[in-house]
């Protein structure tokens, strides 16, 4: 029920955005850039309504719900997972922010320490610091030095030269 | 015959052998890392090939190509994350096998199936190059649209228990891919005036988020109470020939699917492997085993995605038309060496074409050896406890998302998709149809609209092609069958309280 309502609302917001944001222009004969997003929004709205009305829409609740089309095994929907999910999301956002500010190696070590110390609650600080620094340096070596991916450089690297 | 001997001699020079070996190993390793595809591996080795002679350069590129198609299965099996989009369909049963303690068998089966599919399509390519190309060149936008639509109809098959949720997932995937600059009209769609969104959502970035991040969250959440071993088994480099008894027919059919899809511009590995997976499950005597560690669910997509290579090379070599991103990169590599693919190439550089055949065959020997001998190295990564591996995967996801377009913005996007993937899991919307929508969406829309531009707005263009008509009929048939069987299955299930 809730899922259906949420999806319908999502579809309505999407349709409103499509309507206001995408100009209705088209090369001769073709439906234009607005047609597909519009169509998809309408389909999603219909699916949302159908899900809201359908009583047998999902797999039986008694089962563990691990669908075979799913690569990841389903965990029980418990509050700690939701908290972990939000924490992981926050970590990644902070990581993206730091990448552009303090460079790949520092940001990576910081991310790993925050994940281990914060999210996982580990307290073996010596291990954690060695692991984080070694992994950050190792990945930098492989991906930046060896493979030539232009990962953001740490400012302190410049002072070494 | 002389040309063939010359080619054999050219392909077995030490420099060429070394280039093939290095290429195959780079392809294997890079594409085994989630988020780093063989397309990227191809781009990365490209600068190395600039200074080489044409034959070793081509050998290296094709080594990366074959190795990359195969390597994606390693992480699909061992950590449940496709190393490359073409391995997405391998996750379902490969990862399930690994969790049952059959990781070695799954990996061995996947490398045999890969080699089988690769060599099969190479054989087909050598035999039918000109004939198949003559068919493929007549495909216009209408035919490609019909083909892609048919590919999308497998969403229903992937949706498993709830058709509504499966369709929702597919639509969500398609919606995501409409964001960005519309290539036909040059109009920004839902970009909110930002430069970053003009480029749209990179398929790979979305896939990293959807597939990898929920896995990491789960590993983090389970830390402390349940220690979920990702792979409990000592993985050995084995080639489980005996387990594949009874599957050679399936592998052959999957290879045929892969070769055909590969030869069609806009086809490519992801479509072929999903189609082959769907075919394997549909025609299995025990379709309910699929998704729970059925070896057929590993060999079918792996044979198919490797068969794509031979198929994709047909339009590339005979017409100069790249069928997917990887062949487009290879086309660039060939042009740098003054080799312009097309009918003329067969007259001017037949020796190089034959050398190419031989190097591709040799690269399979290298891959089989590397996989059997080196598999323990791959597995070393997985000896780390799941939550620590999760920490490392977060970093690799960050690198993968960044490297897709060298953009920090994509790391934010990846994080958002990670949260989205987690939410989808919570509300039991399957993630596979989302990915199918992501992969097929852009081609579907572009070909549809291009067809209508060509026909000046008349939909008759779609009805005038017998091939398109046949594909539409198949699509309707498949979707109808799915809807009927889903209703039939539901009637058998006692209706219970549903949280939706």
What is the DSSP secondary-structure string of B276-342? HHHHHHHT-S-GGGTTSS-THHHHHHHHHHHHHHHHHHHHHHHH----SHHHHHHHHHHHHTT---S
In contact, B76 and B90? CB cutoff 8 Å: yes
Q: B178, B282, B458: best mutation site toward chain A, by most A Cβ within 10 Å? A: B178
| Nearest residue of chain A to residue B408 (CA atoms) | A96
CB–CB of A84 and B412 under 8 A?
no
Residue B94's pLDDT is 87
**Rounded CA separation B297/A69 (Å):** 11
Determine the Cα angle at B203 with ends B201 and B206, to 5°: 75
| H or E segment and range at residue A9 | helix A2-21
Chain A from 73 to 132: CB within 8 A of any B CB? 73-75, 77, 80-82, 84-89, 91-93, 95-96, 99-100, 108, 111-112, 115-116, 119-121, 131
Residue B37's pLDDT is 63
B428 to chain A, closest Cα gap in Å: 8
Asked if this assembly's ipTM is beyond 0.90, the reply is no
Dihedral (CA of B254, B257, B261, B262) sign:
positive
Residue A95's pLDDT is 96
- For chain A, say whether B195 makes contact (Cβ under 8 Å): no
Contacts of B302 (CB under 8 A, 6+ apart): B70, B73, B87, B90, B109, B110, B113, B114, B117, B273
Dihedral (CA of B85, B87, B89, B94) sign:
negative
Contacts of A35 (CB under 8 A, 6+ apart): none
Residue B185's pLDDT is 79
The residue to which tokens 């829409």 are assigned: A57
What pTM value is reported for the model? Answer: 0.68
Single out the residue of B346, B493, B373 nearest to residue A59, CA to CA: B493
Reading chain B (500 residues) residue by residue, the pLDDT tens digits are 577 777 778 777 888 888 888 888 878 877 776 655 676 677 666 666 666 778 888 888 889 888 888 888 887 888 787 777 788 888 889 888 888 888 888 888 888 999 999 999 999 888 877 665 566 566 778 887 887 787 677 666 555 567 888 889 989 989 998 998 887 877 888 888 788 888 888 877 887 788 778 878 887 887 764 443 455 556 677 778 888 888 888 899 999 999 888 876 556 778 888 889 989 888 888 888 888 888 888 999 999 988 988 888 877 787 666 666 677 667 767 776 777 776 667 667 777 878 888 888 888 888 888 888 877 776 665 555 668 878 887 888 888 788 777 889 999 999 999 999 999 988 888 877 787 777 677 778 888 888 888 888 888 888 888 888 988 898 888 788 777 776 776 665 443 333 22
Chain B from 80 to 99: CB within 8 A of any A CB? 80-82, 91-92, 95-96, 99
**How many residues comprise chain A?**
161
Nearest to B216 among A26, A88, A131 (CB): A88
Structure tokens at B499: 């949280």
**pLDDT averaged over consecutive 10-residue blocks of chain A (161 residues)?**
90 93 78 89 94 64 39 49 92 94 94 92 92 93 78 84 64
In contact, B89 and B50? CB cutoff 8 Å: no
**Rounded CA separation B175/A18 (Å):** 11
């Amino acid at each position: 029920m809730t899922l259906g309502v949420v999806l319908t609302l999502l579809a309505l917001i999407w349709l409103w955005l499509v309507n206001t944001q995408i100009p209705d222009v088209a090369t001769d004969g073709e439906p234009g850039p607005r047609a597909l997003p519009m169509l998809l929004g309408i389909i999603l709205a219909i699916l949302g309504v159908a899900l809201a009305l359908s009583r047998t829409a999902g797999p039986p609740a008694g089962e563990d719900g691990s669908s075979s089309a799913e690569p990841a095994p389903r965990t029980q929907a418990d509050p700690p997972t939701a908290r972990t999910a939000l924490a992981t999301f926050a970590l990644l956002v902070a990581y993206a922010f730091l990448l552009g500010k303090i460079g790949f190696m520092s940001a990576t070590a910081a991310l790993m320490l925050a994940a281990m110390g914060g999210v996982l609650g580990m307290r073996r600080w010596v291990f954690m610091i060695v692991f984080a620094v070694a992994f950050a340096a190792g990945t930098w070596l492989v991906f930046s030095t060896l493979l030539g991916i232009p990962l953001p450089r740490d400012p302190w690297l410049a002072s070494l030269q | 015959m002389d040309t063939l001997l010359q080619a054999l001699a050219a392909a077995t020079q030490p420099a060429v052998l070394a280039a093939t070996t290095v290429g195959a190993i780079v392809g294997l390793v890079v594409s085994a890392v989630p988020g780093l595809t063989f397309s990227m591996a191809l781009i990365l080795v490209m600068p190395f090939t600039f200074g080489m002679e044409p034959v070793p350069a081509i050998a290296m590129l094709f080594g990366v190509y074959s190795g990359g198609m195969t390597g994606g299965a390693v992480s699909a099996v061992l950590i449940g994350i496709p190393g490359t989009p073409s391995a997405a369909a391998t996750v379902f049963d490969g990862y399930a096998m690994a969790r049952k303690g059959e990781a070695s068998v799954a990996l061995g089966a996947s490398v045999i199936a890969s080699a089988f599919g690769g060599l099969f399509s190479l054989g087909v390519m050598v035999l039918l190059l000109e004939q198949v190309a003559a068919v493929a060149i007549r495909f216009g936008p209408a035919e490609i649209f019909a083909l892609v639509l048919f590919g999308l109809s497998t969403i229903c098959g992937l949706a498993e228990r709830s058709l509504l949720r499966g369709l929702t997932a597919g639509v969500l995937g398609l919606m995501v891919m409409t964001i960005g600059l519309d290539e036909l009209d040059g109009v920004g769609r839902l970009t909110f005036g930002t430069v970053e969104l003009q480029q749209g959502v990179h398929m790979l970035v979305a896939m990293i988020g959807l597939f990898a991040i929920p896995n990491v969250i789960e590993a983090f959440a389970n830390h402390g109470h349940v220690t979920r071993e990702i792979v409990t088994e000592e993985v050995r480099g084995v080639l489980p020939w005996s387990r594949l008894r009874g599957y050679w027919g399936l592998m052959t059919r999957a290879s045929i699917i892969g070769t055909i899809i590969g030869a069609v511009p806009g086809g490519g590995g992801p479509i072929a492997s999903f189609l082959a997976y769907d075919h394997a499950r549909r025609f299995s005597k025990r379709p309910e085993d699929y998704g729970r560690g059925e070896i057929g669910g590993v060999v079918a997509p792996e044979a198919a995605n490797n068969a794509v290579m031979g198929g994709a090379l047909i339009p590339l070599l005979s017409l100069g038309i790249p069928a997917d991103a990887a062949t487009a990169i290879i086309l660039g590599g060939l042009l740098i060496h003054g080799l312009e693919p097309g009918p003329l190439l067969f007259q001017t550089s037949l020796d190089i074409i034959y050398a190419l055949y031989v190097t591709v065959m040799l690269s399979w020997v290298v891959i089989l050896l590397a996989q059997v001998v080196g598999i323990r190295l791959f597995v070393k990564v997985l000896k780390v406890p799941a939550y620590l591996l999760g920490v490392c995967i977060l970093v690799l996801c960050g690198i993968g998302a960044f490297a897709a377009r060298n953009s920090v913005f994509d790391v934010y996007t990846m994080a958002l998709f990670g949260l989205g993937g987690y939410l989808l899991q919570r509300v039991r919307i399957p993630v596979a149809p989302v990915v199918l929508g992501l992969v097929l969406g852009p081609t579907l829309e572009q070909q549809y609209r291009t067809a209508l531009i060509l026909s000046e707005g008349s939909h008759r263009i779609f009805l005038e092609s017998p091939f398109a008509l046949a594909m539409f009929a198949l699509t309707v048939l498949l979707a109808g069958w799915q809807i009927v069987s889903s209703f039939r299955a539901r009637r058998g299930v006692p209706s219970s309280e549903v949280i939706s």
